[in-house]
Amino acid sequence: MKYDLTKTEQQFIQATWQRVQAKLAITSQRIGATEPYIATNHRYQDFGEQHPTWWTNAFWCGTLWQLAAATQQTSYQQLARQIERRLDDALVRIDELDHDVGFMWLNAAVTDYRLTGDVRARKRGLKAALLLAGRYNPAGHYLVAWNGAEQQGQVIVDCFMNLGLLYWATQETGNQRFAQIANAHAQTATRALLRADGSSNHIAVFDPVTGAFKGNLGGQGYGQGSAWSRGQAWALYGLTLVYKNNHQTAYLQKAKAAAQFFIANVAATGNVSLIDFRAPATPIYYDTTATAIAICGLLELVKYLPMAERPLYQGAAYRMLVALTERFCDFDTAHDELVTKGSAKYHRASDREVPIIYGDTFYVEALLRFLNLDLTIY
């Protein structure tokens, strides 16, 4: 989709893209075919070496595929393929993987297949889709999020983003059960997680035997009833993607409500999200990853809206991109990270306001979306 940008906006995005290309051309040589998570002392370590099934292990791979397509430089593809092969070790650890197999293999094998037609990548993607489908609880009509015995009834807002793996599997095989599971989960999760004001809960709890809804938990935000910003971004982007795949208008309306809630709240903090929109006024903790994700979601959302509605969402996305770029991007080629002050969880200092790999990944995606150079990953 071509976005309606002023000349000044186009110049800003082009200039930023040049800075990102210059940085990643250097940092990619240092990061290589690793599976990074959080940068420490400006260096991304190979987190996947010790944690092969960790949910973030393919985000750098996704960035490499984006760069390969946008720049036509084969070195990026070569690194992405190496990571994809490394993930084969995770693909056989079925008792350690969870709902985030979508994040892992959409960013790796499925993107590879879409871009190159590699049949081995297709097989990897379909294996991952089978694992995700196997998490379906037919009594409650949901995908189980995590693996703990006490978590068998838990559904989380993040999983909206993983459903694309199931929709893709139906498109590839013609087997409708993948999409049927995705649609069933989307319906259950929307009913249990989305609030009337457009905000989102993080966790919904069901009885794993009867499927009865039991309540909501606070999760990674400030607490129960709060509004964790990354969860809000997952909802905004994920609901839009559900609509993209099943064309049910209810999901588009929910996505708009989630977007409007995010836009209204982020405007109060300079267009960059705090960890939780309903946390106390102090201390102030940012989560830039939520902002980067939300930008991508907003730019996906405008594709399905009438022309008259688009400026609200596109304008907000551009303001967020500018704010992230000017206040929280690190273009120093001596530093591995691109986006600073990402936060995994409100109440944990160890990974609060630190560089997190998926912040970089979604920032690059957002930039490439404005340039019409992005790939379909989700």
In a 13 Å sphere around the CA of 78, the CA atoms on its Cβ side amount to 6
Residues, the chain, total? 378
Query: Active-site residue numbers?
Result: 100, 158
From residue 78, alpha-carbon distances to 33, 82, 228, 351 in Å are 9, 6, 37, 30
Helix (H) or strand (E) holding 217: strand 213-217
Is residue 268 classed exposed, middle or buried when 0-12, 13-18 and 19+ CB atoms within 10 A define those classes?
exposed
In a 13 Å sphere around the CA of 40, the CA atoms on its Cβ side amount to 7
Helix (H) or strand (E) holding 265: helix 249-266
Contact between 173 and 252 (Cβ < 8 Å): no
Looking up tokens 């995705």, which residue turns up? Answer: 182
Is residue 282 classed exposed, middle or buried when 0-12, 13-18 and 19+ CB atoms within 10 A define those classes?
exposed
Q: In this structure, which amino acid lies at residue 2?
A: K
CA 47 to chain centre: 19
Q: In this structure, which amino acid lies at residue 128?
A: A
Q: In this structure, which amino acid lies at residue 174?
A: G
> CB atoms < 10 A from the CB of 65, how many?
28
Say how far apart CA 9 and CA 358 lie, in whole Å.
Answer: 25
End-to-end CA distance of the chain: 16
Q: Which of 346, 349, 330, 343 is nearest to 43 (CA)?
A: 330
Residue 268 DSSP one-character state? G
Q: Which of 227, 184, 239 is nearest to 202 (CA)?
A: 227
Contact between 315 and 19 (Cβ < 8 Å): no
- Helix 357-370 with 288-301: angle, nearest 10 deg: 30
